[in-house]
Amino acid sequence: MKDGIAKYKFKPGLALEFEILSVKDLYRKHKDILTSPHRADFYHILWIHKGSGTHLVDFLPVKFTKDSVLFINKGKVHFFDSSEKFEGTLILFTDNFFCRNEADVKFLHGTILFHDLLDTAALTFQEQKDTFYSILHLMKAELLQQDKEYHQDVLQNHLHNFLMLADREKRKQGFTEISKGADLDYTLLFNELLDVHFTKVRSVKEYADKIHISEKRLSKATAKILGKTPKEIINDRVLLEAKRLLVHTNQSIKEIGFQLGFAEPTNFIKYFKLQSGTTPSEFRESHL
Fold (topology level) of 182-286: Arc Repressor Mutant, subunit A (1.10.10)
Q: What's the predicted TM-score (pTM) here?
A: 0.82
CATH class of 6-172: mainly beta
Residue 2: strand pairing partners? 249
Q: What is the mean pLDDT of residues 256-277?
A: 95
Q: Residue 261 — very low, low, confident or very high, per pLDDT cuts 50/70/90? A: very high
> What pLDDT sits at residue 119?
62
Q: Which of 14-28, 82-96, 205-219 has the highest mean pLDDT?
A: 205-219
Q: From 94, 253, 218, 115, select the one nearest 159 (Cα to Cα).
A: 94
Q: List the chain domain ranges.
A: 6-172, 182-286
Per DSSP, the chain holds a count of helices (H) and strands (E) of: 12, 10
> What pLDDT sits at residue 120?
66
pLDDT per position as a tens digit, 135-181: 999 999 999 998 899 999 999 999 999 999 998 888 887 666 677 78
Q: What is the mean pLDDT of residues 111-123?
A: 73
Residue 1 scores a pLDDT above 60: no
> What pLDDT sits at residue 176?
63
Residue 117 scores a pLDDT above 80: no
pLDDT per position as a tens digit, 9-39: 888 878 899 999 998 888 888 888 888 888 8
